[in-house]
């Protein structure tokens, strides 16, 4: 059994510092390239005009929705990962088993309410992104990754209809 303490860690770090820094630089370069690709593929204007199925996860990899690409697709390893847990973190998702859109409480959303629910979610997402672009530190996780990809270092958690406390 190896005993870990600050001295051992310090020795290990100094022995490996050069290699660690090279790996960090390569990771940073890769992330910067992926971030550029994300901003090209998902600019704020596209997010503002996206349709429900461009947003939701649950329709499979061929869908290439925003939520799929961020959690499991092309951008899954870019900055902070959000894999795991439930799809309810996205606020609205497609439930394959029930063949219905569900909300963050994993309840089916009635067809008569779906457009209003998505419009509210998208408005909240856009408000958070625009607030972040104005250098505001806020809130709550799906948006974390989108936020990071848009170059902001705000911390978010998972989608909850927001009552933003915006500090300018």
pLDDT in tens, 25-43: 998 899 899 989 999 999 9
Q: Are 168 and 94 in contact (CB under 8 A)?
A: no
**pLDDT value at position 45?**
95
**pLDDT value at position 17?**
93
Taking residue 20's Cβ as centre, other Cβ atoms within 10 Å add up to 12
Distance CA 110, CA 102 (A): 9
Q: Which residues contact 11 (CB under 8 A, 6 or more apart)?
A: none
**pLDDT value at position 34?**
92
Q: Where are the alpha helices (DSSP H) in the chain?
A: 6-41, 44-49, 52-55, 66-71, 111-133, 142-149
Per the prediction, the chain carries an average pLDDT of: 82
With a cut of 70, say whether residue 166 has pLDDT above it: no
Q: Which residue has the higher pLDDT, 134 or 165?
A: 134
pLDDT band of residue 126 (cuts 50, 70, 90) is very high
**pLDDT value at position 120?**
94
DSSP-derived letter for residue 76 is T
**pLDDT value at position 153?**
45
**pLDDT value at position 162?**
47
**pLDDT value at position 156?**
43
**64-to-16, 57, 67, 108, 120 alpha-carbon distances in Å:** 39, 9, 8, 22, 22
**pLDDT value at position 16?**
94
Distance CA 47, CA 67 (A): 11
pLDDT in tens, 43-94: 999 999 999 999 999 887 788 899 999 999 999 988 878 888 888 889 999 9
**pLDDT value at position 164?**
47
**93-to-35, 39, 48, 56, 118 alpha-carbon distances in Å:** 24, 23, 18, 5, 10
Q: Please list, residue by residue across 92-117, b when 16 or more beta carbons sit within 10 angstroms of its beta carbon and e when fewer do.
A: bbbbeeeeebbbbeeeebeeeebeeb
**pLDDT value at position 82?**
82
pLDDT band of residue 4 (cuts 50, 70, 90) is confident
Relative to beta strand 100-103, strand 92-95 is: antiparallel
**15-to-8, 137, 138, 158 alpha-carbon distances in Å:** 11, 37, 39, 39
**pLDDT value at position 15?**
95
């Amino acid at each position: 059994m190896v005993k870990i303490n600050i001295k051992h860690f310090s020795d290990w770090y100094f022995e490996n510092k050069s290699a660690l820094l090279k790996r960090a630089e390569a990771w940073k370069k890769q992330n910067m390239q992926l971030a550029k690709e994300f901003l090209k593929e998902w600019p704020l204007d596209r997010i503002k005009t996206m349709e429900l199925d461009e947003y939701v996860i649950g329709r499979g990899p061929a869908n290439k929705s925003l939520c799929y690409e961020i959690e499991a697709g092309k951008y899954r390893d870019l900055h902070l990962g959000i894999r795991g847990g439930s799809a309810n973190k996205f606020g609205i998702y497609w439930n394959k088993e029930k063949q219905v859109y569900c909300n963050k409480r994993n309840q089916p959303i009635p067809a008569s309410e779906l457009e209003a629910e998505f419009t509210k979610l998208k408005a909240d997402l856009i408000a958070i992104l625009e607030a972040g672009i104005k250098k505001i530190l806020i809130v709550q996780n799906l948006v974390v990754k989108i936020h990071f990809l848009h170059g902001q270092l705000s911390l978010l958690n998972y989608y909850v209809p927001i009552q933003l406390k915006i500090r300018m």
